[in-house]
Chain A
Amino acid sequence: MRKKTIIFSFISVIVLTGGYFGYKEYTRKKTDLSHVKAGLSIQSSDLIKEFESDEDAANKKYLPKEDFIIEVTGTIKDIRKDDKGRYTVVLQGDAGTLSSVQCAVDSTHNDAIQALQKGTTVSMKGVVTGFNADELLGSDVFLSRSVIAKD
């Protein structure tokens, strides 16, 4: 009888622990990047050049890992807000081109973004989602979940 109770409690503990971690994983939210250390720091124009010179190699470097966070520094060309209140911070590439780094902002950080000003320099942390080049629109590297990097 005692043996049975021990086995039963043992199985219950395993099932409950498994269930707890399973549920936790299932409902896991994306991490707020402001507390995550960037794996790499780079200037906006250098990042664009890296993709322009070899898009495949750059995709392989930046895309596969979900948690590869980079910090991009550049001059703010524009701060855009769409009709649903979502912000994108646009960092200038080389002067005189339409090329840019488009940082889609983590919406929980909208307040901090409003304090930014065009023409000033900022460092943004985010996850690279890819690159698009167009003869009319220039070359753009896109970042998602972006937040302002603070030292």
Chain B
Amino acid sequence: MKKALIILALALSASSVSFSQDKFYTKTGTIFFECTKSPLEKIEGTNNSVTCVLDSKTGNMQFAVLMKGFEFKRALMQEHFNENYVESHKFPKGEFKGQVTNNADINYGKDGEYTAKVKGKLTIHGVTKDVESTGKLSVRGGKIAANAVFQILLSDYDISIPTVVNDKISNTVNIKVDCSLEPLK
């Protein structure tokens, strides 16, 4: 009887440990983008307050990024980005909701680098589109580094480039995601 109780207690504690470590998160992830067309002027911005949650059990992955949090070198560029392009006062948040489709291939309990195929819906400027990308999940000491590089088209998200700056801004945007996820306790 005593043995059974001990086993039960051990089983319960083990399950609670695995439950608490299923989810990983950050509120200080980084997203960098650039859509430079002319070598004379770099168009790039960085956001260091990206929220990301990864459920290692289901492979569900979510990102939330506040458009006004993108920082540019020049103040004028930042103002144009917010006011004329992404209209951050109308559409403050960009979101991604998706899944690691090859989640079964990733051993979250073992240190290593794993290729992660991610698929889901990306919402920017009030427009939602399906996106797919291959990234990297690096497991180290109970933490996960999530990295991905992918491209989107501004025209897909109803963001138009005025003809006057057509030679400066590319319709193709290169996006780099860099998040260090910690276990959610």
Contacts and interface: CB of A to CB of B under 8 A. Distances in A.
B61 to A, nearest CB: 13
Given A136-B23, A137-B25, A129 B76 contact: no
Interface stretch (B87-95, B112-120, B123-131): B87-95
Contact of A130 (B25, B30, B74, B92): B92
B82 A82 contact: no
Contacts of A28: 74-76
B79 A66 contact: yes
Nearest to B79: A66
Contacts of A132: 51, 64, 66, 93
Interface in B10-27: 23, 25, 27
Given A129-B68, A132-B64, A132-B66, A137 B180 contact: no
Interface of A: 25-31, 59-60, 63-64, 66, 80, 82-84, 86, 88, 90, 100, 102, 104, 127-132, 134, 136-137, 140, 142, 144-145
Interface of B: 23, 25, 27-28, 30, 48-49, 51, 53, 62, 64, 66-69, 71, 74-76, 78-79, 82, 88-89, 92-93, 180, 184
